[in-house]
């Protein structure tokens, strides 16, 4: 693994609290390692991580990508390398500096004007950017292909998030199979969120993956969310916060 950064990718099916857990991970890293450089990447088109962390995003990576595509389509005669060089600097403009961490939003999924060279180059730039940080947390969209296609193909820690449903566990089992083919990772683990009855946790297993934490439904988190507060304001007694910490300890990140 070339990267010095610990790169934690959080994946799973939609609607299981993946983004909230990603935000809790960022908070734990910020609180545990105040001297370290931490980058949070919102790779989910739903852009929920910015809200969960209280970040105001002005520019996304997709905005930069589309500006290059538009330049080419509008007949800009400058060399592609010059345009890509501009993109490299614009990525730093897209970085939002927050207390204790930096934030980068990927934006919408690839759509019209999907130039593979542009996408590949931007992925390389993200990987280079990641090298400037000690910890990188990626909140990915459902599935795993996107990490390989749009963000990076090497992570150190892959965290699979599901709810207690059979379907959710089937989804993360499928994601693991795809990840084994598509990306390089060092450690893998699963978190089962929104357990209605902790006694059911013994019934849940994910083939080939250790279940690191089973998190009960969290009314403390729900109340914090309803009040419009970020995860950085979440009270310590939050089950979600505790569960995220348990997972990080078992993955030897904390």
Q: What is the DSSP letter of 154?
A: B
pLDDT at residue number 76 = 63
132 alpha carbon, distance to own chain's centre = 17
The tokens describing 79, both together, are 């060399």
Give the pLDDT score at 2. 47
19 in Cβ contact with 52 (< 8 Å): yes
Total number of domains constituting the chain:
1
Query: Does residue 203 lie within any of the structural domains?
Result: yes
What pLDDT does residue 1 have? Answer: 41
Domain that holds residue 45: 6-250
> What ranges make up the beta strands (E) of the chain?
6-12, 38-43, 96-98, 101-105, 135-140, 157-162, 187-195, 211-216
Tokens describing residue 170: 């089937």
Predicted local distance difference test score (pLDDT) of residue 154: 87
CATH number, residue 11: 3.40.50.300
DSSP tag of 46 = T
**Which residues pair with residue 154 across a beta bridge?**
184
Given a cut of 70, the residues of the chain with pLDDT beneath it are 1-3, 75-81, 83-84, 109-119, 122
In a domain, 1, yes or no: no
Q: Which residues contact 68 (CB under 8 A, 6 or more apart)?
A: 83, 84, 86, 87, 115, 118
- Look up the pTM and report it: 0.90
The confidence score (pLDDT) of residue 47 equals 72
- Is residue 187 in some structural domain? yes
Residue 37: inside a domain? yes
Q: In what order do the strands lie in the sheet with 187-195?
A: 96-98, 101-105, 38-43, 135-140, 6-12, 157-162, 187-195, 211-216
Do the domain assignments include residue 88? yes
Structure confidence at residue 201 (pLDDT): 74
């Amino acid at each position: 693994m070339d990267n010095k950064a610990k790169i934690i990718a959080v994946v799973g099916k939609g609607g299981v609290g993946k983004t909230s857990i990603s935000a809790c991970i960022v908070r734990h890293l910020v609180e545990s390692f105040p001297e370290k450089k931490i980058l949070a990447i919102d790779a989910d088109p739903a852009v929920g991580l910015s809200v969960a962390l209280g970040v105001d995003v002005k520019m996304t990576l997709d905005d930069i990508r589309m500006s290059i595509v538009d330049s080419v389509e509008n007949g800009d005669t400058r060399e592609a390398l010059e345009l890509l060089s501009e993109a490299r600097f614009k990525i730093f403009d897209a970085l939002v500096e927050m207390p204790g961490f930096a934030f980068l939003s990927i934006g919408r999924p690839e759509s019209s004007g999907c130039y593979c060279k542009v996408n590949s180059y931007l992925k390389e730039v993200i990987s280079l950017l990641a090298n400037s940080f000690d910890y990188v947390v990626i909140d990915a969209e459902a599935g795993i292909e996107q990490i390989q296609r749009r963000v990076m193909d090497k992570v150190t820690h892959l965290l699979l998030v599901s709810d207690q449903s059979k379907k959710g566990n089937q989804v993360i089992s499928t994601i693991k199979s795809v990840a084994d083919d598509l990306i390089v990772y060092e450690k893998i683990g699963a978190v089962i969120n929104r357990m209605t009855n902790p006694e059911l946790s013994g019934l849940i297993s994910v083939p080939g993956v250790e279940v690191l934490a089973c998190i009960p439904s969290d009314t403390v988190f729900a109340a914090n969310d309803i009040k419009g507060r970020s995860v950085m304001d979440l009270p310590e007694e939050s089950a979600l916060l505790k569960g995220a910490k348990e997972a990080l300890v078992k993955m030897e990140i904390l």
